[in-house]
Each structure stands twice: as C-alpha cells, then as structure tokens.
Structure 1
Amino acid sequence: MLALKGLIARFPARSVRKPSHERFWRRLSPPQLFVGSFLLLILLGTLGLKTLPGLYTGPSLSWLDALFTATSAVCVTGLIVVDTATYFTVWGQAFLLLLIQLGGLGIITFTTVLIVALGRRLSLRQQALAASVVEAAPHVNYRQLARDVVRFTFLIEGIGALLLYLGFWPELGGREALWPALFHAISAFCNAGFSTFSSSLVEFRANPVVLSVVMLLIVIGGLGFLTLEELYLWRRSIRARRRFRLSLHSRLVLTTTALLLGIGWILFAFFEWKGTLAELPIGARLLNSLFMSVTARTAGFNTIDYGQATEQTSFLTILLMFVGGSPGSTAGGIKTTTLALLVLLAISRMRGQEIPSCWSRSVPHEVVQRAVGLFVVAVAALMLGSFVLTATEIEHGVTAPGSFLKYLFEAYSAFGTVGLSMGVTPSLSTTGRWIIILLMFVGRVGPLTFAAALTLRRHRTPQFRYAYEDVVVG
C-alpha cells in the first residue's frame, strides 16, 4: 500500500486541459462579451452587405461604406452615406431592418431568451449580463424580463405597424403602405432613424397620425425595458388591487424624460415658429415642434431640413442628443438617469448634503461616481472626436473653415446614436467616416462598458491606498 502511494505521489494526476477556444471564452469578462457581440454583428452585417445578392439597385457599396452602413444599422443610429430609399432594393432594406432589430434588442438578450426557453440554467456570466439592468429593481425577475423584452418589442412594433399603415394609406395607397409601415415601426421603436423615404418624414409633416405614432414608438423604445417591465407590473398590481412601488430608477427615467420633452417642445417651437415651420398651420407647427423634441432623443427621423434650421435649434438638438434615452433601451447618449443624478448631486452639494437623495431614497455613492465618470468620459470622447473630425475634413478639403457646428452636430449625432445630420454625412472623407464609425460604436455599447472591455483583468486587487491630500476645486 505504501509503495502504491509513493508511486502515485511520483506521478501526480494531470489536470485535464480544456480546449483553447473554451479557455478564451471563459476569460472574457461580461463587458468584453457584450462589446464583442455587437462587434461580431457589425462584421457579419458588413460581409452580408458585400456578398449577398439582390441588395442594391446599382453597384454594391465599398467595404468602408458597407462597414459604415452596418455600424449605423446595428448601433441603431441612422446616419447614411447613401440614400436607403433609392440605393437599396426591398431585400436590401429588409437586411438593414434585420440588423436594426438585432442591434436594438442586443444579441445578449436573444441568447438569454433562447437559453431560458430551452430550460437550461444560465451561467454566472450570463446571469451577470442579464441581471445588470435590474440591479436597481430587485423585485424584477431577470428571466421574466428577458422574455418580456422580446414580447414587448414584437407586440409594440406590430401595433405600431398597423397604426402607421392606417396613416400611410391615404397618401400611398393600401398596397404601397405595407412595407413603409412595417419598416418605420421597427426603425422608430429601435430609435434607428432609417427611412424608406429619401426625405425621411418631411413629406408627412402635416400627417398627425404618422407623426404621433412615430413619436410614441420612439418614446416607448427610449424608456428602457426595465421601466417598461415595471410599468407593466404596476398596471397588473392595480388590477389585482395590490400595492406596487416604482423604483427610483423608473421614477427618474419618467420624470427626466417628461421634462426634457416638454422643455424641448417649447424651445423648438420658439426657435422655429417663423423659420422652418413658418409655412405650416398652427396645429402642425406645434406637432412638429414636439416631434423635433422627441426625435432629438436618439431617433433620427426629421420633418425639417436641419441644414436650414437656426443655430439655436442646432445647439439645443446637440444638447438633447448628448443626453439621449434611458438605460436598457435602444437609445444612446449618456442616458436620462445620468443627467438626473448629476442634477441631484449638484442640488445636494448646494444644500450642504453629502449624499444625493430623491423621493425619500438615497443614491449609493458608487452609483453617483459611475454617473460622474460616464459624463467625464463622454465629454472627453466627444471633444476629441469633434476636434479630429473637423480638423481632418478641413485638411482634406471637404469643407471650408467655419463649419465647426455642422461637424459638432455630426459627432454628437453619432455618439448619441441619433442619426440626424446637417447634410455632411455623404461628403465625409475616409478618415471622417472612420471617426463616425468609432463614435457610433462607443455610443451604442456605452463609453464605460467600452473602456471596461479594453481593460486587462487584474488577478490581484491592491489592498492599500495612498495618503489623502486636499485639492482646491472651484
């Protein structure tokens, strides 16, 4: 027996090495997996735009333009270098719509739903990805949320398509209204901004049904699936006569969204009343002013020519594009909750309070720090992107000096995944297109998530800190 033990000690059992691809998969952090899923979808979309037959009415896109278009579709932005209405066939538009739908919902959501539907247990990493959006609302079941994301999406898009069909019917006819209704329903809910009309929705600026339905789809898609799930549970609790409290997250989302839409509505009406909206009747002016406030929140549809708008309108649009939609939605930007937390932080500091609070709830310190970090990183990325974009376009002779506002508008539109433009997208140089592609991608996955995906994982966390020392601020 002793001899056998000695023999075993001399030849220890060798651990079974897992395949290299499995080790690589397990080494990926949740941010890297999330960013990688969008990157993979963009690459597949680019290959599809270059290799699939029957997508174009003429010659196919170049590799760079295919990458630009695929990124814009997957990142639900809407910036285009070619006219979607005339350059693509119906099959080409359908392929773009597939990329928009997958990019709007996110590959991770589809994966989670598939795993849950098959009855398999989620891994810890998959649970971290699925549950990251419900940390603010522990009463929400992430498995149920994953199912409801897809269910809500297809239900809302289906109802929106039916209503848009009724809105398009009088002007396009029954048969011709089918495809635009479906396309714009999905594009609006995903906040993509792609349109099957060359002028976007300019020719329907006097159609209250089309504009109202598109606005409603944009707002619902920009609220975030967590807020939609809570609103659904709140409605069920009313029917069952049970008490249900909306989380602080959803309250901030709804309040900030309403304030931004209302303030934008008033200011846009004031700036453009005698400008681009002057030829419309009063009711249509008010409706289009509201539409401008809604679409600037990362939707990208337009009913006016932003190249002819006042500078006040352009700057207000930039501010709204920078904020964007809400977390867990199809929208981009720094998100409404980040703006709300920064405002709460400023108010608490002016009151001499250390911890921001709202509705009898205090916000954790690490959440506030995350909001501040996101704001700083976003501002830095946009300042750098705007500077480099303007410099390269002037250097390549694409534009003359003095067009800074147009390229600032373009950079913020790309980062906020909005899709509005002052008409400079098709004329961008090669370098300019690469900059916009990068801004669209970072804006969709989130600057903090993108930075976390690039960070090498540390095996050991330092258990010390340096000494404190004050710094004068202000």
Structure 2
Amino acid sequence: MSPVRRRRVYKWELDSAARTRRATVQTAWEQITPEWLFLGSFLAVILIGTIGLRFVPFFYADERAPLGLVDALFTATSAVCVTGLIVVDTATYFSVWGKLWLLALIQVGGLGIITFTTFLIAAMGGRPSLRQEAITSGSREAVQNINYRGLARHVILFTLLFEAAGFVLLSAIWVLQWALSEGGTLGGDTPVGFWEVLGHAAFHSVSAFCNAGFSTFSDSVIRFQNWPLTLGCLMSLIVVGGLGFLTLEELYMSFKARRAGRGYRMSLHSKVVLGMTALLLLGAWPAFAALEWGNSLSGMPAWAKLVNAMFMGVTPRTAGFNNINYVQATVGSNFLTILLMFIGGAPGSTAGGLKVTTVALPALMAWSRIRGRQVTGLLKRTVPEETIQRAVGLVVLGFALVTGCILLIVISEGSSPERFLDYMFEAVSAFDTVGLSRDTTPGLSVFAKLATIVLMFLGRVGLPTVASALTVAAYRPMGEFRYAQEDVVIG
C-alpha cells in the first residue's frame, strides 16, 4: 500500500486564505447598520453587567447571595438604561465594589457607548468613522451650527466638568454637616466615615447628572428634606443633564461668541428645549406645592415645603430620586408625576421619556390648526411637516406601547384594582427611565420584571432607533407613489 502523499501548502496560499477571512469579517461588519450597532452596544454592556452581578460574589455585602438571573438582568438594565428601579436595596445589599460596578454601568449607559469609542479614537489621533458620525450627529439638519466631529469630545468634557462640580459641592455640604452632626451621621442614624461621605457624594453626582436615580441611601434623598443646598445641587445636576448635549454645546458656543463680541443665533431646537424645560418646571412647582402642602409636605417649614415641591417637579424629568414616599402622596400628585415622567427630558441627553420637543410639536400643531393655519410655526420659523408627523407618530407609538405593557403587567399580577395606579406608575417610570416607584418593583413577578426590562431598554435607546433598526431595506419602496385619495370623517 503506497504511502499518502501530502501536498505542500505554500505561504501565499495561507496569506490568501487569511485575506479572504478578513474580507469576509469586514464585509459582515460593514453590513451592520448604525442603528443595530447602537442597540448592540447597549445590549453588550447590559450582558456584561448581568454576568458581573450574577457571578461575582464580592459585589455583595455581608456575604449576601448574588442576585438571581432575572434580578441581575433587571438591575443591570436599570443601571445601563439609567432608570433607577431596584429589586434590592442598593445601600445595604451591595458592597463598595458592587456600587462601583453599578456606577460604571450608569456612566457608560448615560453617555452612550458610541460616544466613548468616538472620544477614544479622537484621543488616539484617529478619525471617527462615517458610522460613528451617523450615530452621534443624527440631528445635523436640526442644529447646523455645531461641529459634530468635536461634539463627542465636548460631551465627555461637559460630563466630567458638571459631575466634578457636583462632587465638590456635595462633598463640601455633606462633610460640613457630617462634622457638625452628633456621632458622625449624614442625615440618618447610622454613623459614617469621612471616606464614605466622599463616596456618597461621588455616586450621587454621577447618578444625578446621568438622570439615573440610583442612591446609596435606603431612603433615596428623603433624609435631605430639610437640606436645601443638597436638594438644590441635585436639582441643578438633573436639569443640566436633561437639557441635552446639543443644547449645552449651543449654550457654550453662545457664551464664547458673546465674550468675543459676536452675535450668535441659537437653533429653534435649543430654544424649544429651554422654553419647554422652564415651562414644565415652573408649572409643576406650584402644582405640587398645592397638592402636597398639607399632605406629604406637612410638618415642614414653609421654605422647606417650597424647596421640596420644586424637587418633586424636577425629579420626574427623569432623575428618579424621591424626596417623599409616593405611596403617601395624593392621587393628583401621582398622576401629575406620571405625566411629567412620560414627557421626560431633551433629545440627546441623559434623560429618557418621549422628550420635550416630541411633546411640544404636536401641541404647536394643534394650536396652529385652531387658529386656522396650515403650517406649524414658532419664533418666526416654520417646522417641517415631516418632523411634525414623526413627533405625532412617536407620541402615539409610545402611548400604545406603555398602555399595552400596563395591561400585560396588570393581567400577570392579577391583584386588586387598588394596585392599578402602582402598576401604571411603574410602567411609565420604566419606559421613561425615571426610576420612581410606589414600592412596587421588588414584588413584581418574573413576567412583569421581564416586561419592565423591555420597557427600560426601549425607553433608553429610543423608539426612532428601534423602528429604524427593524426596517428592512428590501421592503422599502423604490419610488414615491400614492393611492387614490379618499377622506375620512373625524371628530
């Protein structure tokens, strides 16, 4: 039997095979759309966060058992999606390392994965790819005065600046109160050390600016009801984080232009964001004061009632820190909180919700139609009809999604009608990444937790991104056409 002769494999053949494999991988990578890349980045971080919470024992305090798979997934999603809903007490259940793990997930989720990668590329002297620019500059047509190549770098700088400022202010306030307190406490009964005070300040600064709502105190910020400087610092971080980096960039450019003696015309987008933010805050403040003055705010001095009422108007947009127990709040306050949660913050911010611009445009359209005008305008500018229609579609889609999930949660829990407000509050808080709760989250069933996880994810990445990712290019019409027109009676 003749021996088997092996053919010699030449180096050029190996190089050719390697080039073919690299080309195949590159082709597959290029076929991933920016929307799927954005969604995949969040899913990857949620997966990493879940694995850490599930399998790393030293993330937990006092030899507590690691979270189960569903609870670990829920907590990781809540952190990455900067929501703040919790199934266990963050203050007592996690160790210092576990809290640092949550803080890292909050920071990455608050800024977005693509922002980090773009910043790193720029720091290494490289140039962001067209795909990264497509993700970070999706609002190029709306805000044309901004240099989008430098925006990702400014996002990091703004974040570090405001979080550092918040850390310094909170540290100064809390260290002073800690030093003056009896037994070295920080608004509670348990003594804390100096480094613990600094750790609390750092955690809350990041959590407030990212609108995450996670707290290292078991009662969130209820213990600070009579600490106006603390509440004021947290409110400032929440509002600035909810304005959006596009608006912050324009404010920065306007400041530079004025210092140089030049004029600067701010975009309609930023004007709507600033106007709606001021309108919602100034409208919610007296409303909460009137609804809770003799209820959850009773027993406080008048100045403390006003400060806490203002905080109640700020935190649903979408920070999630609670300075009162919402179980004890009036039905009117709970419903007003639901409305504010549903609206949320500004596009391109760390806040969730439908966004203030999305809610403002249908309202402007309705006002224009009432006055008999066929176009929607504001501040001597006309908003494109396509943008108005997208905003209306997002409001309808968001309302339908949240309503459907409320129905599923109510059916799955099968509880008494008195709990309906609790589940409605929970679902809206999840979708709009707020984190406020009526003490409902830990008692949810597995199905309800999974539904809440989906709501948190969709609320963080945004319905437009999900809709665009699910659109199949092969089914898009090659040209514009329309069927015969036929009217429908409305009203």
Partner of residue 127 from structure 1, selected from 130, 133, 153: 133
Letter in 2 for 1:429: S
Q: Does 1:469 align with 2:473?
A: no
Relative to structure 1, the CA distance from residue 473 to residue 16 in structure 2 (aligned partners, 3 Å threshold; closer, same or farther) is farther
1:402 aligns to 2:418 (yes or no): yes
Alpha-carbon distance in 1 for matches of 2:25, 2:416: 50
Whether contact under 8 Å (2:55, 2:66) holds in the other structure is: no
Q: Deviations over 1:10-60 (max 9, x none)?
A: xxxxx9686444333212222211111111111111011122341001110
Determine helix, strand or coil for the equivalent of 2:473: coil
CA contact (8 A) 2:133 2:149 kept: no
Partner residue, 2:397: 377
| 2:46 is the counterpart of 1:29 | no
Counterpart amino acid of 1:410? E
Structure 2: which amino acid aligns with 1:347?
A: W
| Residue of structure 2 aligned with 1:76, choices 66, 72, 82 | 82
Q: Distance in 1 between matches of 2:44 and 2:407?
A: 29
Equivalence for 1:50? 54
1:230-283, CA deviations, whole angstroms, 9 ceiling, x for partnerless residues? 000111111101000110000000000000011110100000000000011000
Please list the CA deviations of residues 279-322 of structure 1 after superposition, one character each: whole Å capped at 9, or x if unmatched. Answer: 11000000000000000111000110001110000000000000
SS of the aligned residue for 1:176 comes to helix
The answer on whether the counterparts of 1:377 and 1:448 sit within 8 Å (CA) in structure 2 is: no
User: What residue ranges of structure 2 are gaps of 5+ in the alignment?
Assistant: 1-18, 179-185, 187-192
| Residue of structure 2 equivalent to 1:185 | 205
C-alpha contact (below 8 Å) 2:210/2:238 kept by paired residues = yes
Q: Which moved more, 1:236-245 or 1:451-460?
A: 451-460
SS at match of 1:288: helix
Assess, with a 3 A threshold, how the Cα gap between structure 1 residues 390 and 460 changes in structure 2: closer, same or farther.
closer
Q: Which of 109-118 and 322-331 deviates more?
A: 109-118
Contact 1:116/1:143 (CA < 8 Å) preserved in 2?
Answer: no
* Structure 1 residues not aligned, in runs of 5+: 1-14
In the TM superposition, residue 211 of structure 1 has moved relative to its aligned partner by: 0.4
Shift of 1:402: 2.6
Give the Cα–Cα distance (whole angstroms) in 2 for the partners of residues 127 and 203 of structure 1. Answer: 44
Structure 1 residue 201: deviation in Å?
0.4
User: Contact 1:167/1:207 (CA < 8 Å) preserved in 2?
Assistant: no
**Structure 2 residue aligned with 1:9:** none
Describe how 1:172-321 pairs up with structure 2 within 5 A.
Answer: 172=186, 174-321=194-341
Other structure's SS at 1:403 match: helix
Q: Does 1:137 align with 2:148?
A: no
Distance, in Å, in 2 between the alignment partners of 1:82 and 1:308 is: 21
Whether the 8 Å contact between 2:57 and 2:66 is mirrored in structure 1 is no
Equivalent residues in 2 for 1:432-471 (5 A)? 432-458=448-474, 461-463=477-479, 464-471=481-488
Q: Any idea what the Cα deviations from partners look like across 1:314-368, whole Å, max 9, x if unmatched?
A: 0000000000000000011100001111111111111221221111111111111
Match of 2:348 in 1: 328
Using the alignment, how far apart are the partners of 1:239 and 1:157 within structure 2?
25
Task: Report the Cα offset of residue 121 of structure 1.
Answer: 2.9
d(CA) in 2 for partners of 1:286, 1:50? 43
Paired residue type of 1:271: L
Shift of 1:209: 1.1
In structure 2, the residue matched to 1:416 is 432
1:164–1:181: 8 Å Cα contact kept in structure 2?
Answer: yes
Instruction: Say whether residues 1:66 and 2:72 are aligned partners.
Output: yes
CA distance in 2, matches of 1:180, 1:287: 22
Hey, what does 1:353 align to over in structure 2? 373
Q: Distance in 2 between matches of 1:109 and 1:50?
A: 27
Tell me the alpha carbon deviations over residues 151-185 of structure 1, each in whole angstroms, 9 at most, x when there is no partner: 00001000100101122221336433100000000
Q: Over aligned residues, Cα RMSD in angstroms?
A: 1.5
Q: Distance in 2 between matches of 1:213 and 1:414?
A: 25
The answer as to whether partners of 1:218 and 1:299 remain within 8 angstroms in 2 is: yes
- Residue type at the aligned position of 1:87: Y
User: Partners of 1:220 and 1:122 in 2: how far apart?
Assistant: 27
Among all aligned residue pairs of Structure 1 and Structure 2, give the percentage whose two residues are the same amino acid.
Answer: 54
Report the Cα distance in structure 1 between the residues aligned to 2:36 and 2:293, rounded to whole angstroms: 47
311-320 or 118-127: which moved more? 118-127
Would you say the 8 A contact 1:298–1:332 is kept in 2?
A: yes
Contact 2:458 2:466 in 1 (8 A): yes
One-letter amino acid of the structure 2 residue matched with residue 389 of structure 1:
I
Q: Aligned to 1:148, which of 150, 154, 164?
A: 154
What code does the residue aligned with 1:186 have? V
One-letter identity of the residue aligned with 1:336: V
Aligned residue pairs total 456
Bigger Cα displacement from structure 2, 447-456 vs 429-438: 447-456
Range moving further from structure 2, 130-139 or 230-239? 130-139
Task: Name the SS of the counterpart of 2:318 in structure 1.
Answer: coil
| Change in 2 beyond 3 A, CA 1:377/1:460 | closer
Q: The residue matched to 1:362 in structure 2 has which SS?
A: strand
Partner of 2:94: 88
Contact 1:322 1:416 in 2 (8 A): yes
Q: SS state of the match for residue 431, structure 1?
A: helix
